[in-house]
């Protein structure tokens, strides 16, 4: 099984009405995953009736690859967000493949805590699959993977941070930010390549 980044595409062309030529903006399209420099979309203006001040508001850009709209708020947050992660081939577990895809999809809508939960579930599943007992604590599963040699020698700081964040999220309901979610996806992706993709490549040769 190849766990691909989910791309939201359609077999129809969209003809947007009254498009404007606006200042070009570079971004990664959250639908098709392409890097674009769009100069078409819609601008908005904002006015504060209390202060009388006006300024630029949110913008919408149209991807010139898939014709889908991307919204940027005044803080430059992107919706849907850019995909994060890389495809993993030869995953033999449907549950792991679906969780990995779901973790990446959560990043598109800035659901970082949900993404982190999916990534932690994958780590727990991998540990059990490799011989860990069921119903252990999250940090015990991380220690198991580390002690069994699935974590590279220079990955101790990764292990410590992932273990600490996992415990905080469970006991203090701490919200994850994008950096933490990306770190988890990167760590999970590394293990999935090591455990599934690389052995699968050798078997297919």
Q: Which DSSP helix (H) or strand (E) runs through 199?
A: helix 198-204
Number of helices and strands (H, E) in the chain? 6, 7
The answer as to whether 10 is a domain residue is no
Same domain for 43 and 115: no
Q: How confident is the model at residue 31 (pLDDT cuts 50, 70, 90)?
A: confident
Give pLDDT, residue 158: 76
Same domain for 52 and 122: no
Give pLDDT, residue 155: 74
| 183 vs 55: CA distance, rounded Å | 36
Same domain for 179 and 120: yes
Residue 27 has pLDDT above 90, yes or no: yes
Count structural domains, the chain.
2
Same domain for 191 and 134: yes
The answer as to whether 87 is a domain residue is no
Q: How confident is the model at residue 6 (pLDDT cuts 50, 70, 90)?
A: low
Same domain for 98 and 74: no
Same domain for 136 and 62: no
Contact 36, 64 (CB under 8 A): yes
- Of 79, 109, 128, the one marking the end of a domain is 79
pLDDT digits (tens, 9 = 90+) for 114-166: 998 999 999 999 999 889 999 898 888 988 998 998 887 777 777 777 777 65
pLDDT digits (tens, 9 = 90+) for 176-202: 888 889 988 998 998 999 889 988 888
Same domain for 190 and 106: yes
The answer as to whether 99 is a domain residue is yes
Residue 38 has pLDDT above 90, yes or no: yes
Give pLDDT, residue 69: 95
Same domain for 122 and 43: no
The answer as to whether 75 is a domain residue is yes
Domain that holds residue 38: 20-79
pLDDT digits (tens, 9 = 90+) for 169-182: 455 556 788 888 99
The answer as to whether 25 is a domain residue is yes
Q: How confident is the model at residue 73 (pLDDT cuts 50, 70, 90)?
A: very high
């Amino acid at each position: 099984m190849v766990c691909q980044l989910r791309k939201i595409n359609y077999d129809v062309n969209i003809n947007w009405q009254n498009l404007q030529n606006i200042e070009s903006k570079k971004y990664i399209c959250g639908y098709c995953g392409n890097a674009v420099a769009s100069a078409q979309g819609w601008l908005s203006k904002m006015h504060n009736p209390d202060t009388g001040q006006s300024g630029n508001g949110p913008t919408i850009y149209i991807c010139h690859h898939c014709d889908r709209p991307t919204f940027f708020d005044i803080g430059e947050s992107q919706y849907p967000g850019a995909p994060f992660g890389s495809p993993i081939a030869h995953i033999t577990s449907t549950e792991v493949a679906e969780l990995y895809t779901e973790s990446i999809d959560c990043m598109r809508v800035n659901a970082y805590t949900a993404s982190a939960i999916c990534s932690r579930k994958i780590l727990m599943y991998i540990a059990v699959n490799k011989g860990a007992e069921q119903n252990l604590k999250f940090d015990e599963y991380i220690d198991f993977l580390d002690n069994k040699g699935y974590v590279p020698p220079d990955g101790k700081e990764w292990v410590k941070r992932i273990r600490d964040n996992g415990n905080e999220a469970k006991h203090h309901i701490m919200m994850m930010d994008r950096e933490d979610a990306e770190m988890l996806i990167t760590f999970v992706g590394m293990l999935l390549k090591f455990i599934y993709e690389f052995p699968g490549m050798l078997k297919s040769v």
